[in-house]
Each structure stands twice: as C-alpha cells, then as structure tokens.
Amino acid sequence: MGRTSDARSKILNAARSLIELRGYSALGVAEICKTAGVPKGSFYHFFESKEALALTVLDEQWVVQRRDWERALGGDQVPLLRLRQLFEETAAAQRAGQATCGSVSGCMFGNLTLELSNQTAPIRERLQEIFDAQVGMVEAVISVALERGDVTVTDTRDAARSVVAQLEGQVLFAKLYNSTAQLDALWLNCLALLGARAPQPDVVAV
C-alpha cells in the first residue's frame, strides 16, 4: 500500500473511532487529521468535506456489518435461530467494544440517525438505505419462517421493522447504562413480536 492510500486509511480509521466516541458534530477536520497523524492538507486531497468523510465512514462500516449480518442470517439453521445468531453477535460486538474503549458505543447508524438525520439530506438518505437493507435482510428470514409456519405475522415488512426497532431501542439502553445485559432480552422479544415459539435447536432447516 502506497503512502497516499495509507493516509486515506488513517483518516478513515481516526474518523470512525472519533465518531463512535463523540458523534459527528463535535468533531473538526483538524482534530481528525491530528488523531490520524496526517497533515491537514491531505484531508481535502481525499475528501471534499467532513460530510463526504462521514458518508465514506458509513459506507465502510456497512460493508463490514452487512457481511456479518449476511453470515449470521444466511446460515443453514432454521430461520428463527439465524435471528438469534444475529442478536448474539450484536451483543458480542458491543461487549468487545466496551472491553476496548470502556463504554458501550452502541450502533453507529442509530447514533448518527438521532444526531443528524434531520440535518443533512445526504446522510439521512444513506442511513435510510442502510436501515432499509437491514430490515430487508431480517424480512427475508421472517418470510421463510412464515412459509414454514414458525411465525404468525401478517406483514413481514412491518414485523422486520419492529424487530430492528427493538434491536435499536435495546442498544440505546445498553449505551445509556453502559451494560450489554440489556441485550439479553432481544431473542425472547423477537419471538414475541413474531408470534413464534422458541424452536428446538436440533431441528434441521429445510
């Protein structure tokens, strides 16, 4: 990797860490460059603005998280157990973050939604796309569960949105109380929201 892309990567890593710790508005380009250890002139070589940087941070974060979600939700377990897998991995990621930086940093997409979504249209649109994709991935699993008769929802899209809303709400509490124990409720709440019963773990998926 040459020096140029190295500087870009350093800026992105610094911005992601700082946004997770302190949000977007509190940051300035000078502080991001100082944390990244790159001259301020480099910043505008790679990014037109702080907003452009934030959009790139969101995109890169979603590339990583989407892969995790696809792995969790695309396994060969029965559909409801794939959802449980997603919740367990979410809790594990929040615990790992807490161990690293001392506090639960929550979901970057949720954080930026509440901080910024009614302020900048491009960031709002990108966050809408990301949450649309998350809801779509959960909906696909719910649809299979519905075909199997494992759940009793009437609208798979609404149900998926409610599951993701519950996830975001519990992650909000996990951040507020700096406690990942809040996330233990996700699985049973998901079953309740979907009108399902806990499936037997040894059931083989169709």
Shortest Cβ distance from residue 72 to its own copies (Å)?
19
* CA distance from start to end of the chain: 45
Q: Is there binding between residue 17 and its own copies (CB under 8 A)? A: no
The verdict on 22 binding its own copies (CB under 8 A) reads yes
* 157 contacts its own copies (rule: CB under 8 A): no
Query: Pick from 85, 106, 138, 151: which binds its own copies (CB under 8 A)?
Result: 106
Interaction between residue 168 and its own copies (CB under 8 A): yes
- The DSSP code for 181 is G
- Going 52 to 58 to 63 to 64, the CA torsion angle's sign is positive
Interaction of residue 65 with its own copies, rule CB under 8 A: no
Q: CA 9 to CA 203: how far, in whole Å?
A: 44
Q: Which of 106, 108, 110, 88 is nearest to 98 (CA)?
A: 106
Residue 29 found at the interface with its own copies (CB under 8 A): no
181: which 2 tokens? 């124990």
- Written in H, E and C, the secondary structure of 99-167 is HHHCCCCCCHHHHHHHHHCCCCHHHHHHHHHHHHHHHHHHHHHHHHHHHCCCCCCCCHHHHHHHHHHHH
Kindly report the number of other CB atoms within 10 A of residue 205's CB atom. 13
Report the residue number, 85 or 113, with the smaller CB distance to its own copies: 113
Quick one: which segment of 34-42, 53-61, 82-90, 186-194 binds its own copies (CB under 8 A)?
Answer: 186-194
Q: Taking contact as CB under 8 A, which single stretch among the options 9-17, 21-29, 70-78, 80-88 is the one that binds its own copies? A: 21-29
Q: How many residues bind its own copies (CB under 8 A)?
A: 44
Among 89, 115, 133, 148, binds its own copies (CB under 8 A): 115
Q: What would the two tokens of residue 109 be?
A: 């997409």
- Interacting residues with its own copies between 117 and 146 (CB under 8 A): 117-119, 124, 127-128, 131
Nearer to its own copies, 42 or 189 (CB): 189
State the residue for tokens 């009614």.
Answer: 118
User: Does 75 engage in binding with its own copies (CB under 8 A)?
Assistant: no
Query: Site residues (CB under 8 A) for its own copies?
Result: 21-23, 25-26, 103-106, 110-111, 113-119, 124, 127-128, 131, 158, 161-162, 164-170, 172-173, 175-178, 182, 185, 189, 192-193, 195
